[in-house]
Structure 1
Amino acid sequence: MKKTLIACLVFSALLGAVHADDAPGTPSNSNAANNGGWSGSGEFGFASARGNSRTDNANAKLTLNQENEMWKNNFFLNGLRSKGEVQVQDEQGNTINRFSTTANRYDAGASVGYKLDTRSYIVGAARYDHDDFGANLWQGIVSIGYGYVALKNEKTELSFEIGPGFKKYRPADQQITEPDGTVVRVRQDTESEPVARGLVNFKYRLTGNTALEDTLLMEAGTKNKYYQNDIGLSVSMTKKLAVKLGYQVRYNSDVQVGIKHTDTLATTNLVYNF
């Protein structure tokens, strides 16, 4: 699944690699129309994570979108990596500081929507997530559903997606402390289950160069329920460059002992739109 998603992203990047020349804070409608409806953005910046990991380092994001009379498609690739000072015990039992990886997360996904009319569409979606310090080491989902654009004008857009899917995931290793104090990591079996997938996406343009976007993702099964909310405020500085403040909340209902249900990620990114 992971290789398939990455291949889709690379293919989409080749199709969408034409730069826009639009005004600050306004979508590149003319260029998108001449380019099959393709547009995109890349982000890079500082990240501060609190939850199962405590890190301060770098994150990067790539998003590609296509919307025309027939298709409503989206592709994304995100990454977060951090290193920091952590306290560990050496062979003699002394506590020492060691520079080590404290966060390593990446996820990729795609959704392909075929429009039935100006508001309704059938959507197929796939997502893969890997997190060395999260509730699940990895999780992947494929789904099919129905999408509906409830509101769309120059300032506001509100859309919904819902449908069934199938999910596989591997919970994080369980840590067991032996009588002699040794910590043993026990590998967990891979789980799978049918899920209900829901997505709510809201966009609102506050001013000519300031926009707010909030996306809520829900993947609910009988074993585990996963929720993710991303909210971001972007301010355009030039035709292509913007600054974006983002805040992400990720929640897993089923976690190992000692692992928190909720992770948060705050970012301040420089955005390049194309």
Structure 2
Amino acid sequence: MRNYLLLLFLMISCSSWAVDPFEDFHEYGQLSDEEIHQLHQGDLLYGDTEFGFILSRGNTNSTSFKLKGNLYQDFETWRNQFKIDSLYKRDHNDDTGQSDVTANRVFVSAQGNYKVGVKNSSFFIYGDYEEDQFSGLDFKSTIATGYGARVYQGVKNKVDIDIGPGLYRSVADEDSEQSEADKDKVGYLLRLAMQWERLVSERTRFNQDLSIEQSLSGLNSRLKSETALISQVIGAVSLKFAYVYRYNSKPEESKLKFDSELSATLVYSF
């Protein structure tokens, strides 16, 4: 067996063993999103963290680590969301005896939604920052503001969208052959984000998150899509299968326009 799973991060609260392990499974159907936010209103932070670790030895020697977090704050007039997504991979070459980093990416974002009188509607301000060692960029960042609303609410489905203008900035690596003027790029964009959630069963849900940043200044346009199926294992711990697709219309020299990622991780909700 060429690849095997050595360690999975498992966090289970002690109290979950004293009760029905599915009793507090509100994230997947027993309570709506609004009821969950009301339940935690005023809390410093709540949400979920996602962790995956794979160590392979044999014909292929590699170490992979993935950490992701989705955290919320819900106050009387503001609802804030913070995200972190990191991936690290190191491969060992038996012929040379050297270890090489083959993936090293960190993405963070924050969004504040100011609640208006219409239910599930708000004005938002959004910002993100990403460093990817193999993208050809030192970093890239986005800031946007606009309006968000729930465009569909059904028994098992709900769809939310955010739309608004923003600014994009990217700075090329120091080793880039571009001129100093071309290394630092700033331009206008239109950002559109969609979140679709479907309840598959009482303990399983399907999520589709999509964000599109269309450049209005002739720079690169970006798309990011995450398709995920999440099912509870026990207590606050769930298993998540996800496919992530990223597209960049004008990548750096020698880089592809797209990349994808397939993962299976554990999610801990708190």
> Under a length normalisation based on structure 2, what TM-score does the superposition of the two structures give?
0.76
Name the counterpart of 1:138.
139
Name the counterpart of 2:127.
126
Equivalent residue for 1:195, pick from 189, 193, 208:
189
Shift of residue 255, structure 1, vs aligned partner: 1.8
- Contact 2:25 2:203 (8 Å CA) reproduced: no
Q: What 5-or-longer segments of structure 1 have no aligned partner? A: 1-18, 48-54, 88-94, 177-184
1:57 aligns with 2:51: no
Distance 2:192 2:209 in 1: 11
- Contact 2:51 2:266 (8 Å CA) reproduced: yes
Shift of residue 35, structure 1, vs aligned partner: 2.6
Residue pairs, 1:240-259, within 5 angstroms: 240-259=236-255
Name the counterpart of 2:24.
22
Could you say which structure has the greater relative contact order, defined with CA pairs below 8 angstroms and 6 or more residues apart?
Answer: 1
Partner secondary structure for residue 152 of structure 2: strand
1:232 aligns with 2:239: no
Distance 1:173 1:235 in 2: 44
Distance 1:248 1:64, change over 3 A: same
Name the counterpart of 1:272.
268
- Contact 2:166 2:188 (8 Å CA) reproduced: yes
Distance 1:141 1:103, change over 3 A: same
Aligned length: 234
Residue pairs, 1:71-220, within 5 angstroms: 71-85=78-92, 96=96, 98-116=98-116, 117-172=118-173, 189-220=183-214
Distance 2:30 2:184 in 1: 43
Shift of residue 174, structure 1, vs aligned partner: 6.4
Distance 1:165 1:43 in 2: 29
Q: Which residue identity does 1:22 align to in structure 2?
A: D
- Contact 1:85 1:100 (8 Å CA) reproduced: yes
Distance 1:174 1:252 in 2: 21
- Contact 1:22 1:28 (8 Å CA) reproduced: no
1:33 aligns with 2:29: no
Q: Which residue identity does 1:163 align to in structure 2?
A: G
Q: What 5-or-longer segments of structure 2 have no aligned partner? A: 1-15, 17-22, 55-61
Q: Which residue identity does 2:68 align to in structure 1?
A: K
Distance 1:26 1:66 in 2: 21
Distance 1:163 1:57 in 2: 36
Partner secondary structure for residue 206 of structure 1: strand
RMSD of the alignment, in Å? Answer: 3.0
- Contact 2:115 2:121 (8 Å CA) reproduced: yes
Q: Which residue identity does 1:207 align to in structure 2?
A: S
- Contact 1:174 1:186 (8 Å CA) reproduced: no
| Identity over aligned pairs, percent | 22
Distance 1:37 1:234 in 2: 27
Distance 1:241 1:171, change over 3 A: same
> Under a length normalisation based on structure 1, what TM-score does the superposition of the two structures give?
0.75
